[in-house]
């Protein structure tokens, strides 16, 4: 089945009671039981909710996996994966990734005795030097937030398998429409469903998809024991978002390409970070593992001062200055003070994230309006 048909029908069975074509929002905390232990498979909504189950089925289908689990946010999904580990275990994580993931690892999990190594994964080989008997997980993100670096998922998966280490890939930036990490050998795919899956900037949610039953059972146990489950209304919204993922992503890619080329040709723009440029250092890998290059772009100005960047960030009219990404509307963001402020400045600079870097989430408006807006703001 092709992507569009899959996205529209994933997890969608007519409601058994009424035949409603849209999955109902089962807004209930509990279920009436006939006798102790005699029930319809639903006991308490932290453990079971039909709207969430429909979404989890859809998540599995769209990521070519067997099992999906939904969480109350992207970081809650990440949190669940790290809770698979024990004190003394080690994680090899990408050195360029969402600031909130870095904060969760360093500020929450390090104190429970889990050790994280931050490694430049653009060369998969770099990982090998950090593997030892305590290594249990490799955590990566591709394309990375915000520098749009690319990690070769198949190459990292081969290293993970050879060393009996789990690989989890944060697939938020690509979305399942552009990339399916499980097909490339990853064990777990993670999403901030807040972004492209929801697609309309109206919900916070996270997702995990995997193939292994035992891994699913452990993660389900963590989901119900720790309780970071999404509410049924939020599950409904993400289910609805998934139905148009393919149409939105096509337009995000088209607009992304136009905006990236406009920026690159602008005399006042410095470096443009977009993985669809044929001279992007990892273009060949992006082309191999992705079906398009998406709408996430970062750039600097030739006048690399904070003052000029701030002026630009405050003067766009169609691009709204806001955190987040992946919605239908275009957003402009300043990673150093917004999405990546939780990473110490010296770490950011070491990894190439300058104070004046600007990140765009190119939406699905008319590309001409987006370009006019940026042109006027750059001045
Ligand atoms: C790549 C990436 N991963 C994870 C997250 C965290 O997701 P959430 O904000 O839904 O908790 C984000 C949020 O911006 C992100 O950009």
- For residue 189, the cross-strand partners are 169, 209
pLDDT, tens only, 154-190: 999 999 999 999 999 999 999 999 999 999 999 999 9
Distance CA 257, CA 346 (A): 32
6, 46, 240, 258: the active-site residue: 46
pLDDT, tens only, 119-160: 999 999 999 999 999 999 999 999 999 999 999 999 999 999
Judge whether 303 counts as a catalytic residue. no
- Residue 315's Cβ-side half-sphere holds a number of Cα atoms within 13 Å equal to 14
pLDDT, tens only, 237-286: 999 999 999 999 999 999 999 999 999 999 999 999 999 999 999 999 99
52, 83, 195, 359: the active-site residue: 195
* Dist. CA 207 → ligand 1 center (Å): 11
Under DSSP, the state recorded for 319 is S
Distance CA 71, CA 91 (A): 22
CB 141 less than 6 A from any atom of ligand 1: yes
Fold agreement between 3-242 and 245-378: no
CB 361 less than 6 A from any atom of ligand 1: no
From the CA of 195, give the closest atom in ligand 1.
10
CB 74 less than 6 A from any atom of ligand 1: yes
CATH topology assigned to domain 245-378: 3.90.1150
Domain boundaries, the chain: 3-242, 245-378
CB 90 within 8 A of CB 127: no
* Dist. CA 43 → ligand 1 center (Å): 31
CB 366 within 8 A of CB 309: no
Residue 56: which residues within 8 A CB-CB, separation 6 or more?
Answer: 11, 67, 68, 69, 70
Distance CA 353, CA 186 (A): 27
CATH, range 3-242: 3.40.640.10
Whether the pTM exceeds 0.75: the reply is yes
């Amino acid at each position: 089945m092709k992507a569009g048909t899959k996205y529209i029908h994933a997890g969608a069975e007519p409601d058994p009671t009424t035949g409603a074509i849209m999955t109902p929002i089962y807004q209930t905390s509990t279920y009436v039981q006939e006798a102790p232990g005699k029930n319809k498979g639903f006991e308490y909504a932290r453990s079971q909710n039909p709207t969430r189950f429909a979404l989890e089925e859809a998540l599995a289908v769209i990521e070519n996996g067997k099992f999906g689990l939904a969480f109350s946010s992207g970081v809650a999904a990440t949190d669940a994966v790290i809770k698979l580990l024990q004190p003394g275990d080690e994680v090899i994580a990408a050195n360029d990734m969402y600031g909130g993931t870095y904060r969760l690892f360093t500020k929450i999990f390090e104190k429970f005795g889990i050790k994280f190594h931050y490694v430049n994964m653009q060369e998969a080989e770099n990982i090998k030097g950090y593997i030892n008997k305590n290594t249990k997980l490799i955590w990566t993100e591709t394309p990375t937030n915000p520098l749009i670096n690319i990690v070769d998922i198949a190459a990292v998966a081969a290293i993970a398998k050879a060393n009996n280490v789990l690989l989890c890939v944060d697939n938020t930036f690509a979305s399942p429409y552009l990339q399916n990490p499980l097909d490339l050998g990853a064990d777990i795919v993670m999403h901030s469903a807040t972004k492209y899956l929801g697609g309309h900037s109206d919900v916070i949610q996270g997702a995990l998809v995997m193939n292994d039953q035992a891994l699913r059972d452990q993660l389900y146990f963590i989901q119900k024991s720790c309780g970071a489950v999404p509410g049924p209304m939020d599950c409904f919204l993400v289910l609805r978002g998934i139905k148009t993922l393919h149409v939105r992503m096509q337009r995000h890619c088209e607009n992304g390409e136009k905006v990236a080329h406009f920026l690159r040709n602008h005399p006042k723009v410095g470096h443009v970070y977009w993985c669809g440029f044929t001279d992007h250092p990892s273009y060949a890998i992006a082309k191999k593992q992705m079906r398009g290059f998406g709408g996430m772009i970062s750039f600097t100005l030739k006048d690399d001062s904070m003052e000029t960047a701030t002026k630009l960030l405050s003067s766009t009219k169609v691009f709204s200055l806001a955190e987040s990404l992946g919605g239908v509307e275009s957003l402009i963001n300043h990673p150093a003070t917004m999405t990546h402020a939780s990473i110490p400045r010296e770490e950011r600079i070491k990894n190439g994230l300058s104070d004046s870097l600007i990140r765009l989430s190119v939406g699905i408006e008319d590309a001409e309006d987006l370009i006019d807006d940026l042109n006027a703001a750059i001045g």
